[in-house]
A = this chain, B = another copy of it.
Amino acid sequence: MKSSSEDTPPMAPQLLSSRNFKSLFDSVDTFLFDCDGVIWKGEKLIDGVAQTLDLIRSKDEIFSSSFAAAMYLKVNNFHKDKKVYVIGGEGILEELQIAGFTGLGGPEDGEKRAQWKSNSLFEHDKSVGAVVVGLDPNINYYKLQYGTLCVRENPGCLFIATNRDAVGHMTDLQEWPGAGCMVAAMCGSTEREPIVVGKPSTFMMDFLLQKFGTETSRMCMVGDRLDTDILFGQNAGCKTLLVLTGVTSESNLLKEGNEIEPDYYTSTVSDMMKLMESP
């Protein structure tokens, strides 16, 4: 039986090389990138990622899951006069701004404190029409109260989650609470369920299909986890590329019994740049 694991099965994942990368690149119009473990890890960008994304962007469309919330608002004609309260990182605020929306909250509310004082009202902006919740290492009671008041008291206010990952590998050595922790906190206080725009929602694929007519067969999902990113990409009908900078190691990928196999794998996303530049 041992020999079977040494035979190359017909659909085995291929290590990305200058040859097969060309065929992947030619067959794809759009790359979808998971962020945590692919673009960044904890607070650190993966080496070479900025140049790699610039290079790919010059030839193809790319989308990261952090764009999804801003795109959701755009697709749904969210009024530019309304504001968006953010429980999450600077990245969400940047994406909102690029899309022409006014965001507030985010990191600048990380040091604020809510005071339970008699007769003092916790003020919130009545023009907030959406609360976007993502991974927030500076989560606090102030933000939770602000977001809760918007969702509960501003008529029609949307409650949007970038994703519901329970934990992520914010450092090499252990798992940490993911966006699903902050999203759940808001569910607990608002008694509402969010609109999820990132994985495992297919909002991005549907958006790309509707907006650009791009079929999922001409998209490539790039991720670091077999059981979320790669499975999600496969289920959506995308090509899939696993990078080894995050959760899944090469030995986990290749071990006998693993049933989720990407089309391609490579050690880091910046290998794509090297392969594009190689003759």
Contacts and interface: CB of A to CB of B under 8 A. Distances in A.
Given A144-B181, A149-B174, A174-B122, A166 B188 contact: yes
Contact of A177 (B41, B141, B171): B141
Contacts of A120: 171, 173
A208 interface: no
A140 to B, nearest CB: 6
Contacts of A191: 166
Interface residues of A, number: 47
A270 interface: no
Contacts of A141: 136-139, 177
A103 interface: no
Contact of A185 (B42, B176, B188): B188
A70 interface: no
Given A184-B187, A188-B164, A174 B137 contact: no
A147 B174 CA distance: 14
Interface stretch (A25-33, A48-56, A90-98, A111-119): A111-119
Interface of A: 41-44, 114, 116-122, 136-141, 144-145, 148-149, 152, 164, 166-167, 170-178, 180-191
17 contacts: A44-B118, A116-B170, A118-B171, A119-B171, A120-B173, A121-B173, A136-B141, A139-B139, A139-B140, A139-B141, A139-B144, A139-B185, A145-B177, A177-B189, A180-B189, A181-B186, A184-B189
